[in-house]
Amino acid sequence: MNQPAYLVIALIVYPKVHRYLSNLVEAARGMPHILTARAKGASESRMFLWHVVPVIRREVLALAGVSIGIAISAAIPVEALCGIPGIGQLTWQAALGRDLPLLNNVAMLVIGCVVLANSGADLLGEEPRRPA
Amino acid sequence: MKRLRVAAAILACFLVLISVAGGFVPRFDYSRQDREHVSSGACSRHWLGTDDLGRDRFARLLCGTRISILLAPPAAMVSMLLAFAIGAVPGFAGGFAERTAKTVIDLVLSIPWLFLLLIVRAMLPLNTSPGTSVTITFLVLGLLGWAAPARILLARARSMRQAEFIILARSTGIAPFRLLWRHVMPNLRPVLLAQFWISVPVFILSEANLSILGLGVAEPLPSLGRLLRELETVLSLRADIWRFTPLVMLVLIVSSLQIAVSEREVYS
């Protein structure tokens, strides 16, 4: 039932991420190891999955962490207008009713989510340890 | 690409001109009620129809656009000044000041933008006169929008710290304030300008967002967000397609402002 609303949020986040992502992929595609892989005759999809994605993985994860914040921002008007009972609508009601303690707590919750998402992205983005 | 940019700039100027000129025409009074035509469709008298209080929608659209277009640049100016003070100056000074500034900027950036706006706006009085509400809304935008530009300015100022012309100026015994004003500021000007032009459409959109939520500009003053709120009842759209005009206007303003600023300036 709520799927269109989530689609709207995704649509709001997408253009902000698109430029960075396409720049990243572009830069990764210009690296020398791609040329080697191509010379060896790797297929387009294999090259992308095995040679481009690992290079940009860390940046993509960081971008995902940042876009959590954008998505939460976008969720406020979307939830308020579509009548979805979520954090966004709660914030809206609290702001309209000047319920400052509630606003405070929701802010803490949201900041916690953003910080968690960012540190999670950092952790996942660490280089895997190779056996010596 | 260049032709597109010129076209966008012309369109933006045109929109500014009509919205400002509309304020001087008594026929386009945003608050006058026509009680004979309440929530009517488009006709020769009311070009976009009237709202449920009988106010001319075209006049309200002009006024809302005027408010956004005229107040977003001063708000962006305020946030550029703050960004310079919080980002560029510590970045140039280095050391403890730079680390502190960086932490503060990261902290502010970690709070979602609209969320921050909503919280700060809710702390300020909501039931004020329309004029005050407009001022408060744009002041809040200006006072909170400094974080992203400050981060870029900080990085730029830091890279400038060891530049040769700065060392030369220092060796002549220049006063710190004069150094900032005559040597650092002019070299940061392209970045400042680019950030300024990015901020203006962002602020217009944020104001519309706040007003849709009922936390921005107060009645009876119209604003783009307030006009968009009328679109909430989708059923009436089929009867009167001109209700989409505020949305079209918002998209036009924001996109033309964004295209008119050259990419080289923004992303360099």
Task: Note the pLDDT of residue B234.
Answer: 65
Q: Quick check: B114 and A73 CB within 8 A?
A: yes
Higher pLDDT, B234 or B264: B234
Residue B179 to chain A, least CA–CA distance (Å):
35
Q: State the burial class of residue B229 (Cβ atoms within 10 Å of its Cβ: 0-12, 13-18, 19+).
A: middle
Q: Which residues of A touch B214 (CB under 8 A)?
A: 96
Most A CBs within 10 Å: which of B108, B115, B136, B140, as the mutation test of the A interface? B115
Per-residue pLDDT reduced to its tens digit, B24-63: 887 778 888 888 878 777 777 777 878 878 888 888 888 8
Residue of B nearest to A20 (CA): B267
Which stretches of chain B sit within 8 Å of chain A by CB? 110-115, 118-119, 121-123, 126, 209, 212-215, 232
Which residue in A has a C-alpha nearest to residue B109's C-alpha? A69
What is the complex's ipTM, to 2 decimals?
0.77
| pLDDT band per the 50, 70, 90 thresholds, residue B85 | very high
pLDDT in tens, chain A (132 residues): 567 888 989 998 998 889 889 988 888 888 898 888 889 888 888 888 888 888 888 888 888 888 888 898 888 888 888 888 888 899 999 988 888 899 989 988 988 888 898 888 888 877 666 665
Phi-psi region of A76 (alpha: psi -120 to 50; beta: other; left: phi over 0): alpha
The rounded distance, in Å, linking the Cα atoms of B236 and B233 is 6
Closest in A72, A76, A103 to B122, CB measured: A103
Interface test with A, best of B113, B114, B121, B268 (most A CBs within 10 A): B114
From B115, B209, B232, residue closest to A107, measured CB to CB: B115
Per-residue model confidence (pLDDT) at position B76:
94
Three-state secondary structure readout of chain B: CHHHHHHHHHHHHHHHHHHHHHCCCCCCCCCCECCCCCCCCCCCCCCCCECCCCEEHHHHHHHHHHHHHHHHHHHHHHHHHHHHHHHHHHHHHCHHHHHHHHHHHHHHHHCCHHHHHHHHHHHCCCCCCHHHHHHHHHHHHHHHCCHHHHHHHHHHHHHHCCCHHHHHHHHCCCCHHHHHHHHHHHHHHHHHHHHHHHHHHHHHHHHHHHHHCCCCCCCCCCCHHHHHHHHHCCHHHHHCHHHHHHHHHHHHHHHHHHHHCCHHHHHC
Encoded amino acid at B182, one letter = R
Number of A to B CB contacts under 8 A, please give it: 61
- A72–chain B Cβ distance below 8 A for any pair: yes
Chain B residue with Cα closest to A92: B213
Q: Do A69 and B209 touch (CB under 8 A)?
A: no
